Amino acid sequence: MSRPVRAILATATLTAALLPLTGVQASAATGPYKGLPNGTKTAKTLVIGVDGTRYDKLLTADAPNIKALMASGLTAPSNLYANPLAPTLSGPGWSTIATGVWPDKHGVKDNTFAGSQFTLYPDFATRLETAAPSASTLVAASWNPIADTVFHGTPDLRIDESENDTKTASDAVDYLTNGNPDTTMLHFDEVDEAGHSYGGTSTQYAAAIHSVDALVGQVVQAVRNRPTYAAEDWLIIVTTDHGHTDAGGHGGNSAVERQTFQVVNGAGYTAGSVRYDVKPVDIAPTVLKHEGVTVNPAWQLDGKPIDEIVPDAFDALRPSLQTRVDETGIPAATKGFTHTPPAGWSIDNSRMPSGGVTEWRGWAFATDEFWTAAQLGQSRETNVRARNVFAVADSDEWDDKTHGTGQFDSTLVSPAFPVSGTQATISFANNYKVDGPQTGDLYVVFGTGTPQLVKSYRSDLNSFEKLTVSVPVGATTAQLQFRYTGTNSAFWTVDQVSVIS
């Protein structure tokens, strides 16, 4: 289905809920330049979306403007979800970027936006307007549903560009030159169109990246040409909503369809740096913090401001990760697993039978690109709340090779975290998936005491857990034990583990 047809479908579905489509949509607020109020902030943000852009093809493309932003800022490649969380489509993708939550919260599963929860999880421009009504917010999108629906709340000015990237860029240049927006969201569509028409490995796709890069350059130059630029604090982010197959198209769970990236350029971002723990949900809270808005925990965002994301002990394992041993579906050159835990952590495999698939014999530490490639379509692509390297117990894959009598039975043991007072909070990213006989149990050990059951997992749960436990009098340490058992069942992943009192 072509982009215009998809746009018509999405718009028709929601016409009753939208403002009249007149090309330019403005709220009641008006201002000194073409319906855009005059901005009030020194902090300025520009978010540029380049639809359907594969990260691997961006790296090889003639894209000097985006690459200049990469060279002088942060680049963060990452992977998207896939079904059953949501397909790799634009509706879910841009909703994730705008709201700072994953599809299981914002509710968008396709390009009709049916089931969306934008009232509960509004876009970042709307949150900015709510917190700072005098802020000036602009949205200009080549794919109209972004302006019509995704940024559906109270941005000051929303412009439907109707598949015209050149006009998107010229309108942005106009407003950045003659107006004073505080936060600007742009969307370009040509790369996605080329992907659908010619495929992700085509010369036309590479040419489209080059073409849109030139438009990005025009917009960035308009920012830098502002007479007030030297006194302003600009944050520029370039991102995408999904990738494309080699033949063209997206929506599935292949690695190239799930590709995404965040290029972040501004004060505090090290030139030429690369991070693997930054995700699309981090864009919205990063924009809000830059604009002086405190992210409220009650919003239940999945993302964090990038400067607040702290690598955990598992992430330090990335340089030592290994290539496959028994697995055959994982690319031979991909480094992505180890059984060697970081300092202070251990794995108890005393109950594990011998044999099985080497990579998954007991708890392992892995990356998304390695683990999901073991077998597509079994919900591994839903592990979105983990960042970079995570711990995984996968009885399904382990069982694919002959092993000794008995079930998978392995325990991941944490360091002894310091505690004080009467209560402590155990936090971790959690994805527990059931597909057959299995158990997951979390225990805590205070000091030299006996393990105490904190929580048992027996049904699917994809969340960021925060569990409160009572600290015994005199206890100064708390150690966690994650015990997983299963027989050709599914998996348990944990990440970002902490105990705070």
**What CATH code is carried by the domain that includes residue 423?**
2.60.120.260
Q: Looking at the structure, do residues 50 and 181 belong to the same domain, yes or no?
A: yes
Q: Is residue 16 part of a domain?
A: no
Q: Can you tell me the distance from the alpha carbon of 338 to that of 358, in angstroms, rounded to the nearest whole number?
A: 10
Q: Looking at the structure, do residues 196 and 341 belong to the same domain, yes or no?
A: no
Q: Looking at the structure, do residues 232 and 329 belong to the same domain, yes or no?
A: no
Q: Looking at the structure, do residues 97 and 177 belong to the same domain, yes or no?
A: yes
State the pLDDT at residue 31.
53
Q: Is residue 34 part of a domain?
A: no
State the pLDDT at residue 9.
40
Total Cβ atoms within 10 A of residue 162: 16
The two tokens of residue 307 are 């400067």
Q: Looking at the structure, do residues 332 and 242 belong to the same domain, yes or no?
A: no
Q: Looking at the structure, do residues 373 and 491 belong to the same domain, yes or no?
A: yes
State the pLDDT at residue 288.
98
Number of separate domains in the chain: 2
Q: Looking at the structure, do residues 360 and 479 belong to the same domain, yes or no?
A: yes
- DSSP string over 325-343: SS-SSS-TT---EES-PPT
Q: Is residue 21 part of a domain?
A: no
Q: Looking at the structure, do residues 239 and 320 belong to the same domain, yes or no?
A: no
Residue ending a domain, choose from 266, 292, 308: 308
- The enclosing domain of 295 has a CATH number of 3.40.720.10
Residue ending a domain, choose from 308, 334, 362: 308
Q: Looking at the structure, do residues 121 and 149 belong to the same domain, yes or no?
A: yes
Q: Looking at the structure, do residues 149 and 232 belong to the same domain, yes or no?
A: yes
Q: Is residue 19 part of a domain?
A: no
Q: Looking at the structure, do residues 351 and 294 belong to the same domain, yes or no?
A: no
Domain assignment of residue 195, given as a range: 42-308
Q: Is residue 4 part of a domain?
A: no
Contact, 98 vs 124, CB < 8 A?
Answer: yes
pLDDT < 70 regions, the chain = 1-31
Residue ending a domain, choose from 251, 286, 308: 308
Distance (Å) of CA 334 to CA 211, 257, 327:
31, 17, 11
